[in-house]
């Protein structure tokens, strides 16, 4: 199996998740002075931002080289979801800065509940896509799925930095709530738009086109 250049970049993004997670854990667990804590936290946030932002790079490479790979289409959304899920759960576990300077005590609980809802949505959409795949139907992404991806990327990076300043905590919270809304909304819209997958034995809507590797499969 030949691995395309775009897929190699995606694999590099997945590998980058490990030092990102390690740096974040170190920043939260090691007893150091404030300046060192700030430096470690910023480095963890930069690594996470780099991991998420390079999602644009592999797509651009795929478009430029006109490469199509089922392996790449599998790995691309996986890279983002793994990074977001692992870091988000660590953020909830350490629970630093989530209460926005003590002014929003319920925020950690709300963030945790929304994380559960969003994970449930991803599971449902994953099953939905599996049903479509059995019928040889490839479902294209829509703008709402892309919006939720950007919002959650910004939110999780900001949540990493939230302990450093109350204002960052509020920005992270707003972005996270907006991302959670679009996560649920895009999932419902995605299933309604492609309801033929569940209720018809044939193909889905006529205007749907198969994706190539250059198109993101975020729902």
Sign of CA dihedral 120, 117, 85, 137: positive
Q: pTM for the full model? A: 0.85
Q: What tens digit of pLDDT does each residue of 36-55 get? A: 999 999 999 999 999 998 87
Q: By the 8 A CB rule, do 190 and 129 touch?
A: no
pLDDT for 77: 75
Strands (E), the chain: none
pLDDT for 203: 46
Q: By the 8 A CB rule, do 51 and 75 touch?
A: no
Q: By the 8 A CB rule, do 88 and 52 touch?
A: no
The DSSP annotation for 196-208 comes to HHHH-SS-S-TT-
Please enumerate in sequence order all residues whose Cβ is within 8 A of that of 14, keeping only pairs 6 or more positions apart, or say none: 75, 78, 79, 82
Percentage with pLDDT > 90 across the chain: 53
Q: What is the dihedral of CA 135, 137, 142, 148, to 10 degrees?
A: 50
Please enumerate in sequence order all residues whose Cβ is within 8 A of that of 214, keeping only pairs 6 or more positions apart, or say none: 6, 59, 60, 62, 63, 66
Quote the CATH superfamily of domain 5-199.
Answer: CDP-alcohol phosphotransferase transmembrane (TM) domain (1.20.120.1760)
pLDDT for 218: 55
Q: By the 8 A CB rule, do 67 and 4 touch?
A: yes
Q: Where are the domains of the chain?
A: 5-199
pLDDT for 32: 86
Q: By the 8 A CB rule, do 47 and 19 touch?
A: yes
Q: What number is the average pLDDT over the span 155-171?
A: 96
Q: What tens digit of pLDDT does each residue of 180-195 get? A: 999 999 999 999 988 8
- Where is pLDDT greater, at 45 or 71? 45
């Amino acid at each position: 199996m030949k691995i395309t250049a775009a897929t190699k970049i995606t694999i590099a993004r997945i590998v980058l998740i490990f030092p990102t997670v390690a740096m974040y854990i170190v920043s939260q667990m090691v007893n150091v002075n404030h300046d060192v804590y700030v430096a470690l936290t910023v480095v963890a946030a930069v690594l996470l931002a780099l991991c998420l932002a390079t999602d644009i790079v592999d797509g651009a490479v795929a478009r430029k080289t006109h490469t199509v790979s089922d392996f790449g289409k599998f790995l691309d959304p996986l890279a983002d979801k793994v990074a977001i899920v692992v870091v988000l759960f660590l953020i909830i576990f350490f629970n630093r800065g989530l209460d926005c300077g003590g002014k929003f005590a319920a925020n950690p609980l709300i963030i945790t509940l929304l994380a559960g809802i969003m994970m449930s949505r991803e599971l449902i959409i994953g099953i939905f896509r599996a049903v479509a795949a059995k019928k040889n139907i490839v479902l294209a992404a829509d703008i709402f799925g892309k919006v939720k991806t950007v919002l959650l990327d910004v939110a999780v990076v900001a949540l990493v930095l939230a302990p450093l300043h109350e204002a960052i905590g509020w920005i992270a919270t707003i972005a996270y709530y907006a991302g959670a809304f679009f996560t649920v909304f895009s999932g419902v819209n995605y299933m309604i738009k492609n309801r033929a997958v569940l209720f018809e034995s044939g193909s889905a809507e006529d205007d749907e086109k198969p994706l190539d590797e250059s198109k993101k499969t975020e729902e």
